[in-house]
């Protein structure tokens, strides 16, 4: 059960009330699996089955006519395949968490 790093981004059409509701739902689902690194960009460290779950939940919520969802699977260690500039609030959940 090795885990993989994924990148999830979305655009949700929010002109109507129903769109705003979808946006909130999509954000909550992403929040459950990973962490927000930009306004509508999430990085998640998940197992294959968690990825399937998450994808399934997201697909139930989005409106395929109006919204867009992209999931990128990052092959290799996140630290190696990403370059980050500017503000970065990423927290490594595998490092010691002591508050």
Partner 1 sequence: MIKTILNTLYVQTQGSYLHLDHETVIVEQEGEKALQVPLHHIGTIVMFGNVLISPYLLGRCTDQGISVIWYDVYGRFSARAVGRTNGNVLLRRAQHQVLNDEKRALKLASRFVIGKLRNSRSVVQRAIRDYPDSKTSLEKAAKQLNQCIRDVDKQVTIDELRGVEGYGSSVYFEAFSSLLRTDDDFFVFELRSRRPPRDPINACLSFAYSMLTQDCISALEGVGLDPQIGYLHTLRPGRPALALDLIEEFRAYLADRFVLTLINRKQLSKSDFDMRPGGAVLLNEKGRRTFLAAYQKRKQEEIHHPIINQRVPLGLLPHVHARLLARYLRGDVADYVPFIMR
Closer CB to partner 1, residue 10 or residue 33? 33
Piece of 11-19, 28-36, 63-71, 74-82 that binds partner 1 (CB under 8 A): 28-36
89 near partner 1, rule: CB under 8 A: no
At 72, which helix (H) or strand (E)? Answer: strand 68-74
What is the nearest approach in angstroms of partner 1 to the Cβ of residue 49? 10
Residue 15 CB, nearest distance to partner 1 (Å)? 26
User: What 3 state SS string does 7-51 have?
Assistant: EEEEECCCCCHHHHHHHHHHHHHHHHHEEEEECCEEEEEEEHHHH
Q: ∠ CA 53-56-58 to the nearest 5 degrees?
A: 110
Residue 94 found at the interface with partner 1 (CB under 8 A): yes
From 11-19, 39-47, 59-67, 71-79, span contacting partner 1 (CB under 8 A): 39-47
**Least distance (Å) between residue 70 CB and partner 1:** 20
CA torsion through residues 2, 49, 95, 92, sign: positive
């Amino acid at each position: 059960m090795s885990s993989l790093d994924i990148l999830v981004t979305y655009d949700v059409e929010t002109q109507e009330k129903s769109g705003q509701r979808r946006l909130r739902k999509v954000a909550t689902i992403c929040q459950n699996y990973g962490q927000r690194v930009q306004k509508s960009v999430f990085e998640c460290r998940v197992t294959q089955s968690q990825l399937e779950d998450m994808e399934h939940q997201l697909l139930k919520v989005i409106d395929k006519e109006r919204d867009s969802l992209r999931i990128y699977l990052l092959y290799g260690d996140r630290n190696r395949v990403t370059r980050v500039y500017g503000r970065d609030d990423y927290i490594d959940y595998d490092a010691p968490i002591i508050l």
